[in-house]
């Protein structure tokens, strides 16, 4: 199996809407930024993987058709990947598989998102529950994570201020990231005073609906060596899948708790085992983890093994995980809480992790970072993906 | 060279209708609601009573073997109180909860009624995880999962 390098990454700024480009033109921006960063052209690309979340979010059926030229994919192998919020990272993992197998040397992953054009993402996302049993109940991605947050509060004694501190940290980070969507610093009091969406989740605990594009170029070790290139390296990948039924993630016989991210922890363990990470908190400098609501970041930090279950709130309150602290820095980009271009959010996690381990993250750089973990979550906390990155193949081991 | 133009937009609405077959197992569960009964199915492998009823166990991939009527009271596993209006969804406020009914091993989702949702702290307190709720049934069943809801016990 070939080692897989990340030769280049690209992201547009994330904003509410773009009226100056069509969707394929937006996707092309992500592709070109990634190719430019990699120092290659479309001609060098062997195959393309396209992350695209539900069709209804962009209002175009099979939007991958529309974007083939924007991705330079005509005449090449091409696949679309959709795993809800994990779509971007699942696409990266599909591209990783293409390269690791030895089939291709250079694979482009690029896509775009413009959620705001749907007017109401939640009326689209409400359609993902069981048509007989759950659809008559107005579940959506906010309420399903509010349910999870309530369980986390109950199990670990957390409160709304603990959630608010996640937003405060991430907004402080996003203020240093010129690409981030929400960059205004906020206080705990601001978050607590923001309007309730679905208790305990308030507006200040929620991600924006972002428009933007992102891409990455993955290459084989053979290609990197032949061309004298220094990519960042994907050292481990880990995925896991949770049952469809939220009601089976609670109760006396549950295996994984909807309030914790137990199934995600398995995905992290798989990536760590592959990468040789035995002490995540000691070995990983950066975590770019998918958490579209503040409450989610707490249990993902725990699932990633950066602290014990229920310990994230206290660690955050004492200043850990924030830029300038010792130990692993969590979401130095501001994370998904500050920018959520759904289809490419997982690509953005890889992009940010890559910039960090290569020391190219500008004002949001974690000093001396050489290793990172990235993760994404899709469906209804159902599809989990994670990656471990390092600057050199010699790091970690 | 180029003169600035006002951006143009194209407006469309997806207005699609579907008639989903719910299958024998879900259909029987929904029929039970008209009789004020909540039905589950037992998995012969893990012996869980799965509610709402399903024809196969999501854990063992085994066909469930028999119908089990569970109690119409149980405990709150998780809840939320919605104050935001979402297009195409009901007007807020409303409360949702998953509750494990006595005799069931998995939780059922439903609206929670019979609470003053404008008094958020009090509503939150009465829906605390572990609190008891009972199932209430509609007098005019529609044959859907909206025919029952939870109320604080």
In chain A the domains, ranked by start, together with CATH numbers, are 4-119+209-220 (3.40.47.10)
pLDDT in tens, A227-265: 999 999 999 999 999 999 999 999 999 999 999 999 999
Q: What pLDDT is recorded for position A48?
A: 98
Q: Please report the domains of chain B, with CATH numbers, ordered by start residue.
A: 23-152 (2.40.50.840)
User: Which position has the token pair 């290793």?
Assistant: A371
Q: What are A378's strand-pairing partners?
A: A383
Task: Return the closest-CA partner of residue B139 out of B9, B68, B35, B19.
Answer: B35
Q: What pLDDT is recorded for position A69?
A: 97
Sheet holding A286-288, edge to edge: A78-81, A47-51, A106-114, A211-220, A4-11, A232-241, A383-390, A371-378, A286-288, A329-330
Q: What is the mean pLDDT of chain A?
A: 96
Q: What pLDDT is recorded for position A124?
A: 83
Q: What pLDDT is recorded for position B44?
A: 97
Q: What pLDDT is recorded for position B98?
A: 98
Measure in Å the smallest separation between the Cα of A233 and chain B Cα atoms. 36
User: Which position has the token pair 């897989």?
Assistant: A4
Q: What is the mean pLDDT of residues A56-78?
A: 95
- Check CB contact under 8 Å for A199 and B81: yes
Burial string for A214-225 (b: 16+ CB within 10 Å, else e) reads bbbbbbbbebbe
**Segment among A115-124, A290-299, B140-149 with least mean pLDDT:** A115-124
- Check CB contact under 8 Å for B145 and A137: yes
Q: What pLDDT is recorded for position A115?
A: 86
Low-confidence ranges of chain B (pLDDT < 70): 1-3
Q: What pLDDT is recorded for position B2?
A: 60
Q: What is the mean pLDDT of residues A75-101?
A: 97
Q: What pLDDT is recorded for position A273?
A: 98
Asked if ipTM goes beyond 0.90, one says yes
Nearest to A147 among B78, B87, B105 (CB): B78
Indicate whether A2 pLDDT > 90.
no
Q: What is the mean pLDDT of residues A40-64?
A: 94
Indicate whether A125 pLDDT > 80.
yes
In which band, very low, low, confident or very high, does the pLDDT at A397 lie, cut at 50, 70 and 90? low
Q: What pLDDT is recorded for position A365?
A: 98
Q: How far is CA B43 from the centre of its chain?
A: 21
Task: Return the closest-CA partner of residue A130 out of A119, A150, A144.
Answer: A144
Q: What pLDDT is recorded for position A223?
A: 98
pLDDT in tens, A330-379: 999 999 999 999 999 999 999 999 999 999 999 999 999 999 999 999 98
Mutating which of B45, B48, B101, B109 best tests the A interface, going by the most A Cβ atoms within 10 A? B109
- Check CB contact under 8 Å for B86 and A126: yes
How many residues can be counted in chain A? 397
Can you point out the beta strands (E) in B83-118?
Answer: 94-101, 108-112
- Check CB contact under 8 Å for B106 and A143: no
Q: What is the mean pLDDT of residues A171-192?
A: 98
- Check CB contact under 8 Å for B129 and A151: yes
Q: Which residues on B lie below 8 Å from A142 (Cβ)?
A: 84
Task: Return the closest-CA partner of residue A340 out of A143, A153, A185, A205.
Answer: A205
Q: What pLDDT is recorded for position B15?
A: 86
Proportion of chain A above pLDDT 70, given as a percent: 100
CA distance A93 to A105: 15
């Amino acid at each position: 199996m070939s080692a897989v390098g990340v030769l280049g990454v690209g992201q547009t700024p994330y904003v509410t809407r773009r009226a100056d480009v069509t969707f394929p033109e937006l996707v092309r921006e992500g592709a070109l930024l990634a190719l430019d960063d990699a120092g290659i052209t479309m001609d060098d690309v062997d195959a393309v993987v396209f992350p695209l979340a539900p069709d209804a979010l962009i209002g175009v059926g099979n939007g991958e058709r529309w974007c083939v030229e924007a991705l330079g994919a005509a005449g090449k192998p091409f696949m679309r990947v959709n795993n809800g919020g994990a779509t971007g990272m699942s696409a990266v993992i599909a591209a990783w598989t293409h390269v690791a197998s030895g089939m291709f040397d250079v694979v482009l992953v690029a896509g775009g998102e413009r959620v705001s054009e749907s007017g109401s993402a939640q009326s689209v996302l409400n359609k993902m529950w069981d048509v007989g049993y759950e659809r008559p109940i107005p579940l959506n991605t906010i309420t399903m994570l509010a349910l999870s947050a309530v369980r986390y509060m109950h199990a670990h004694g957390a409160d709304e201020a603990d959630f608010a501190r996640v937003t405060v940290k991430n907004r402080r980070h996003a203020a240093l990231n010129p690409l981030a969507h929400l960059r205004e610093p906020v206080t705990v009091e601001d978050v607590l005073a923001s309007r309730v969406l679905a208790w305990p989740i308030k507006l200040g605990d929620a991600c924006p609906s972002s428009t933007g594009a992102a891409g990455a170029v993955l290459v084989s070790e053979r290609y990197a060596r032949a061309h004298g290139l220094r990519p960042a390296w994907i050292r481990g990948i880990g995925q896991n899948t949770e049952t469809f039924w939220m009601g089976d993630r609670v109760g006396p016989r549950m295996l994984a708790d909807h309030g914790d991210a137990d199934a995600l922890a398995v995905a992290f363990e798989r990536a760590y085992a592959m990468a040789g990470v035995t002490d995540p908190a000691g070995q990983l400098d950066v975590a770019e983890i998918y958490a579209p609501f503040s409450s989610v970041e707490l249990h993902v930090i725990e699932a990633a093994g950066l602290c014990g279950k229920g310990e994230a709130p206290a660690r955050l309150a004492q200043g850990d995980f924030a830029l300038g602290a010792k130990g692993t820095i969590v979401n130095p980009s501001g994370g998904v809480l500050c920018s959520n271009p759904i289809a490419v959010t997982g690509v953005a996690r890889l992009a940010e992790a890559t910039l960090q381990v290569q020391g190219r993250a500008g004002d949001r750089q974690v000093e001396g970072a050489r290793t990172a973990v990235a993760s994404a979550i899709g469906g209804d906390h159902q599809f989990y993906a994670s990656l471990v990155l390092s600057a050199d193949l010699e790091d970690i081991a | 060279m180029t003169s600035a133009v006002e951006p143009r937009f194209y407006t469309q609405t997806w207005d699609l209708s579907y008639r989903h077959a719910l299958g024998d197992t879900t259909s029987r569960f929904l029929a039970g609601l008209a009789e004020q009964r909540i039905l589950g199915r037992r998995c012969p492998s893990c012996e869980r009573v799965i509610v709402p009823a399903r024809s196969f166990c999501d854990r063992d991939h085994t066909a469930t073997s028999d119908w089990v009527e569970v109690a119409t009271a149980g405990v709150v596993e998780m809840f939320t109180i919605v104050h935001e209006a979402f297009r195409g969804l009901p007007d807020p406020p409303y409360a949702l909860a998953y509750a494990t009914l006595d005799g069931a091993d998995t939780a059922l989702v439903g609206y929670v009624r019979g609470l003053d949702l404008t008094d958020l702290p009090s509503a939150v307190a009465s829906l605390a995880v572990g609190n008891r709720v009972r199932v209430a049934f509609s007098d005019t069943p529609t044959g859907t999962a909206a025919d029952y809801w939870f109320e604080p016990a």
